[in-house]
Amino acid sequence: MVERARECRARVVAVRALTEHVVEVDVRMEDPPALTFQAGQWVSVPFGPKIVRAYSIASTPQSPALLTLCADVAPAGIGSQWFRALVVGQPIAFKGPLGGFVFSRMDRRQPLFVAEEIGIVPVRAILRELYDTGFGRPAHLVYWARDPGGLVYDREFRSLARRYPRFSYHPVAGEAPDDWPGDRGAVDAPLERLTSSVVELVAYVCGGGATIDRVRAALTAKGLERRAVKWEKFW
């Protein structure tokens, strides 16, 4: 059942800088005491009349009382400044859960996830929830950043791939040193070898609009229906 969005209050309990520009914040729910949501959803924070910013939930529904939010604060706008300034003990208000970028276990197609930089956040939540709760089917993840330092959850996905052989992880860096073990180039670099067939495939793409268009074009050129490409646009 889809949970209706509601006004929520919570309190910051931890702040972590994953990189110079990517910050994670743990918040403990106060009202309601737990938030029912689906992996891949987000919350919206108000900053005035008709001004809101969205933050994807990086944690899974298995921890409904303690949420992890993650954001790229490099844009330095009103939301970035607020997120970067959060401190332990600070109360916050938001509305949620929101968004339809979620995975259904009823869908028996093989999932291919493609994420660009901070677009990894909802994908990470979906994958963690799937494998933490016994997802036995194959799944692929293509994760792109301008350089390896932008792959903020790289170590976590490498660990996931070691623990679950049916999950394959394909990091891609636009530019990388000579000893980089992943792909180089554009986000669609690994797609050719991963999609020799698109029969019974469903794709989940998250990032900028140009990346979404590029991946969708590459997959539909192979015969995948456009409606089999689910997407969440971050910018």
85-141 pLDDT, tens digit per residue, is 999 999 999 999 999 999 999 999 999 999 999 999 999 999 999 999 989 899 999
For residue 32, cis peptide bond before it (omega within 30 degrees of 0): yes
Of the pLDDT bands very low, low, confident and very high (cuts 50, 70, 90), residue 2 is low
- pLDDT higher than 80, residue 1: no
51-76 pLDDT, tens digit per residue, is 999 999 999 999 999 999 999 999 99
Question: Which pLDDT does position 49 carry in this prediction?
Answer: 82
Sequential DSSP letters for 67-110: EEEEEE-TT-SHHHHHHHT--TT-EEEEEEEE------TT--SE
Architecture of domain 110-233: 3-Layer(aba) Sandwich (3.40)
Model pTM? 0.95
Sequential DSSP letters for 51-71: -EEEEEB-S-TT-TTEEEEEE
Domain extents in the chain: 6-98, 110-233
Q: Which three-class secondary structure state does DSSP give residue 45? A: strand
Of the pLDDT bands very low, low, confident and very high (cuts 50, 70, 90), residue 188 is confident
CA 150, 155, 160, 162 torsion-angle sign: positive
For residue 97, cis peptide bond before it (omega within 30 degrees of 0): yes
Distance of CA 48 to the CA centre of its chain: 26
Regarding the domain with residue range 6-98, which homologous superfamily does it belong to in the CATH classification?
Translation factors (2.40.30.10)
User: What percentage of the chain carries pLDDT values higher than 70?
Assistant: 99
Q: Which three-class secondary structure state does DSSP give residue 116? A: strand
Task: For residue 144, report the phi and psi dihedrals to the nearest 5 degrees.
Answer: -110, 145
| Strand 183-184 to 167-173 pairing | parallel
User: What percentage of the chain carries pLDDT values higher than 90?
Assistant: 91
